[in-house]
Amino acid sequence: MTAATAPHDHFWLTFRRSLAGKVLLTPKGGVAGAYLLVLVLIALTAPWITPYPFDQQALPLANRPPSLANWLGTDEFGRDVLSRIMYGARTSLSVSVTAISVSVLVGMALGAAAGYFGGMFDRGVTAAVDLSWSFPEILIALILVAIIGPGLHSTMLAIAIAYLAQFTRLTRAQIMGLKGETYIEATLSLGASHGHVVFRHLMPNALAPVIVCGMLATGDAIILEATLGFFGLGAQPPVPSWGAMMSSGSALIFTAPWIIVFPGLAVAITVVMINLFGDALIRALDIRANLREG
Amino acid sequence: MALLTVENLGIDIHGIRPLDGVSFSVDKGEILGIVGESGSGKSLTALSVIGLLPLIGGRILRGSIRFDGIDLATLPEAEFRRLRGRRIAFITQNPMTSLDPVMRIGAQIDQVSMLHLGLDARAAQARSIEIMAQLRIPEAATIYHHFPHQLSGGMKQRIVIAMALAADPDLIIADEPTTALDVTIQAQIVDLLVELVRERDVALILITHDMGVVAQTCDRVVVLYAGRVAESDAVAAIFERPRHPYTRALIGCIPRDETAHGNLTGIPGAVPSVAHYPAGCRFHPRCPRRGAPCDHIVPVSAAMDGGLFACHFPENSGVAR
Amino acid sequence: MSGGAQNLVELRQLSKRFESRRGLFGKPRAMTAVDDVTLGIPKGRVTGVVGESGCGKSTLARLVLRLLEASSGEVVFDGMPLGQLSGGALRKLRRRMQMVFQDPYSAIDPRYNMADALLEPHRIQGIRLSRADARTVVGELLGMVGLGPQIAASFPHQLSGGQRQRIGIARALALKPDFLVLDEPTASLDVSIQAQIIALLEQLRSELGLTYLFISHDLGLVRYFCDRIVVMYLGRVVEVLPQPHAAPRHHYTRALLDSNFVPDPKRRRTIRRLTGEIPSAFDLPPGCAFAARCPRADATCRAIRPDLTQTADGHAAACHHPL
């Protein structure tokens, strides 16, 4: 081995041992990771790389089946379905990722505070979580959108609130379990503040399952966003979203099935890939847990 | 011929060999102590004798385990099942988890005598209550109908012992039966076990890490270290003139009234894990008496005055260091 | 009370009650975990607290360091009543009083390596260290507890129980305290490792002039390690032995002593069985808590609670019929 290759080898080894390496170097994690990376790139660069502008109408070319000019066909206004799916990825991803991130952050804060301090605050939070837990997320989201009105931002807010109970509950349970560990008492006996205990010990140790759960919820959120879009409650025309595209295609399902099938496939494949990635993440984190046991 | 004779036992668990040439014997009315630190192979020895090694993916590589003329090492599982619980009983370390939480105490004891002695329900109940009373469980007929969570730790361990006795076994193996209990309760349980052995003429193998328990209860002792027998002898001899430096060190770990301050030093280092057993005598890295051959020549077991020891430089034997 | 030496810590009529409720609509029940404990902890000595489960020894340990708030009574540390200190002042004072915990397996955050774990006390107390100083501190602390510097990069799962307990001791020593509460520091270790840790604690005490409060269930160990022994039963102090080998006067101490497994087959116990179980700490009887198990108990014992009475030699016992 020459000296020149050594740093490269070192990098490779570090990568293989890192969490990212453990996820991406498995078949599941690798395929899912590659797909999600491509999807994110498409979403980011959609305005420059789509074959046609998403809102370019050509009524004479309406409802054309897939062809060389329009790979996935055209919709009822003659707009290119492929371009609209690529643009729709922007909506689906940004709404679901933003909503779940907000939900995770707020849920962790609520759950950690409830689990750590207990008392009346905990009882209140637990009651609210239990109440929300007894309704399906879709119902909560629908009611919220009905109250605040349709649109992209209200969709995000609705999804974030719909999933809040899940993360609050999970974080609270994690914190409650970890709170009894001796190292928490040991840290307090050194004169640590509650902030130190929560942010340096409890949160880092509670993080992994919450992250995995957030990953899997992102997949669900894409479906929820599509559903709200399907009902016309999400992104408003002409902004494309996968759900809204399927909704408009539903009228022509027998004459021009490609209008509804391709956005549907985009939703399905993306959700499956996110779940695969989540599985790989669980696997990788479990391996770490096993190592910890020696 | 002793009731149980284990000779040169070696086992394999997923390619590692945690026991190597373990030999001992125990007879009716006798208490044999198997003592050593955690990781010395005490519990694996017990599992080998009751034929439960396959549970943890292990198997017997060599050696024999003769119980009343039967070779347990080669006994098919179907036949072993008739022996286990019937003639060989096992008492585990943690009474909290060895009882079924959703089954009444009495039913759990009844089960044993119904299965092994073929008693009907009424006879089994009478027998269970009788055994419970013998174990000084107050109001046995009432406790009989209780659930495990209604009992204290010491009482649960008595129930576990009652289950062990229900089929009238010849050999009882108790794996650290008192470590999970309070001090005064420990003494009660140990006294109870000793009495049982004397009264019922059963053989008891008591597995423990505590030389104090050994001194107070056992007739003979096997000292295990890292899967091998360091020394075995009668209890008086073990304490009076230990030959293996490990035996002496282990005894020295328990403070006595006359132990002067600073004289409790423990044994330096720790028991090696199975994957890292050193060559030669496995105790040599921690041994104050180690010499030239210790790190590459495995000491052969030598007999002297009825005891066995495996050491190149034994104490109390006229061999100079 | 302490036979000469000055007290570093004084406990005055310290009590702790826990309320619990069975289910949502259950009646609240009170359990007195520590009941009216008055005790001096002499400077530079080892005071042992011994008792079985439910005797309140671990609760007492936490009250002494104010990790738990007392229901009544107070703890005075070096002249300062802890109960009157503000949060900030108490956190500062924690430098001087530290604790070593029973379970070394969960006493270190699994995500911390040993260097981080050993530096955490400084970080918590807001003491900034340069990289070089930090390395020196870690090296010194590891050396103090007999571990090599290579341990600094290890994570808890890579260490044995004995090594972890040494780290627990090093962490407690990091801020150079005067007073250590040792809560069964060897109860989950092998006997050979227990003896190592006790030897280490003995050596550190004499080198650093520390004061120990040693909590244990093992009377044999306490008699070896401690200068003075406090025996607790169901939340109360039942006997204080001024010297570790003083003859017990309380029947419970006698029973504990009889239950000890002496490692000498020539001194086998003549079976003197203590009957009965430790009663529940809820709904204690009015008289002596030990009356239900005591061979000498009579009507007085069951009706009237005996006071802890002290004789001239500093020996105190709470018994109507002392030995």
What structural domains does chain C harbor? 7-317 (3.40.50.300)
> Among residues 47-66 of chain C, which lie with CB inside 8 Å of chain A?
65
Residues of C in contact with A181 (CB under 8 A): 106
pLDDT tens figures, C286-312: 889 898 888 888 999 989 999 999 888
Taking CB atoms and an 8 Å limit, are C125 and A191 in contact across chains?
Answer: yes
Show me where the domains of chain A are located. 28-53+76-293
Q: Is residue B262 part of a domain?
A: no
Q: Which of A107-111, B105-109, C274-278 has the lowest mean pLDDT?
A: C274-278
pLDDT at B186 over 50: yes
For residue C171, with 0-12 CB atoms within 10 Å meaning exposed, 13-18 middle and 19 or more buried, which class applies? buried
Residues B213 and B230 in one domain: yes
Min Cα–Cα distance to chain C from B138, Å: 9
Q: Is residue B191 part of a domain?
A: no
Tell me which residues of chain A have a C-beta less than 8 Å from any C-beta of chain C.
181-183, 185-193, 196, 201, 204-205, 291-294
Question: CA of B194: which chain C residue's CA is closest?
Answer: C271
Q: Give the whole-number percent of chain B exceeding pLDDT 70.
A: 99
C110 touches chain A (CB under 8 A): yes
A290 — pLDDT class (breaks 50, 70, 90): very low
Taking CB atoms and an 8 Å limit, are A192 and C101 in contact across chains?
Answer: no
Mean per-residue pLDDT, B77-90: 90
Residues B141 and B211 in one domain: no
Q: Which CATH number fits the domain that encloses residue B223?
A: 3.40.50.300
pLDDT at A294 over 50: no
Which of A127, A174, A129, A152 has its CA nearest to residue A244? A152
Residues B136 and B176 in one domain: no
Min Cα–Cα distance to chain A from C121, Å: 6
DSSP label of C322: -
Residues B155 and B223 in one domain: no
Taking CB atoms and an 8 Å limit, are B255 and C196 in contact across chains?
Answer: no
Residues of C in contact with A197 (CB under 8 A): none
Structurally, chain B folds into a number of domains equal to: 2
pLDDT tens figures, C218-266: 999 999 999 999 999 999 999 999 999 999 999 999 999 888 888 888 8
pLDDT at residue B320 in the model:
59
Say which CATH topology domain A28-53+76-293 has.
MetI-like fold (1.10.3720)
pLDDT at A37 over 90: yes
Residues 6+ apart with CB under 8 A from C134: C115, C119, C122
Structure tokens at C198: 């006790």
Q: Is residue B265 part of a domain?
A: no
The distance from CA B91 to its chain's CA centroid, rounded to whole angstroms, is 10
Q: Is residue B49 part of a domain?
A: yes
User: What residue spans of B64-152 are helical by DSSP H?
Assistant: 77-83, 105-117, 121-134, 140-143
Residues B13 and B104 in one domain: no
Contact C264, C63 (CB under 8 A): no
Across the interface, of C90, C103, C125, the residue whose CB is closest to A182 is: C103
pLDDT at B168 over 80: yes
Across the interface, of C218, C225, C255, the residue whose CB is closest to B184 is: C255
pLDDT at residue B106 in the model:
92
pLDDT at residue C23 in the model:
59
Q: Is residue B251 part of a domain?
A: yes
For residue A254, with 0-12 CB atoms within 10 Å meaning exposed, 13-18 middle and 19 or more buried, which class applies? exposed
Residues of B in contact with C269 (CB under 8 A): 187, 216
Beta bridge partners of C34: C16
pLDDT at residue A25 in the model:
84
C82 touches chain A (CB under 8 A): no
A2 — pLDDT class (breaks 50, 70, 90): very low
pLDDT at residue C100 in the model:
95
Q: Is residue B92 part of a domain?
A: no
pLDDT at residue A61 in the model:
80
| Helix H or strand E encompassing A215 | helix A203-230
Write down how long chain B is. Answer: 321
pLDDT at residue A289 in the model:
46
pLDDT at C274 over 70: no
Taking CB atoms and an 8 Å limit, are C125 and A196 in contact across chains?
Answer: no
For residue B296, with 0-12 CB atoms within 10 Å meaning exposed, 13-18 middle and 19 or more buried, which class applies? exposed
Q: Is residue B264 part of a domain?
A: no
Tell me which residues of chain B have a C-beta less than 8 Å from any C-beta of chain C.
37-38, 136, 152, 154-155, 182-188, 190-191, 209-216, 235-236, 239, 249-257, 259, 261-262, 264-268, 270-271
Taking CB atoms and an 8 Å limit, are B265 and C190 in contact across chains?
Answer: no
Interface test with chain C among A187, A189, A203, A292, by most C beta carbons within 10 Å: A189
Min Cα–Cα distance to chain C from B194, Å: 10
Q: Is B89 helix (H, G, I), strand (E, B) or coil?
A: strand
Q: Give the whole-number percent of chain B exceeding pLDDT 90.
A: 55
Residues B290 and B175 in one domain: yes
pLDDT at residue C247 in the model:
92
Amino acid present at C201: L
Mean per-residue pLDDT, B168-196: 87
Domain that holds residue B320: 1-87+171-185+197-255+271-321
Taking CB atoms and an 8 Å limit, are B186 and C259 in contact across chains?
Answer: yes
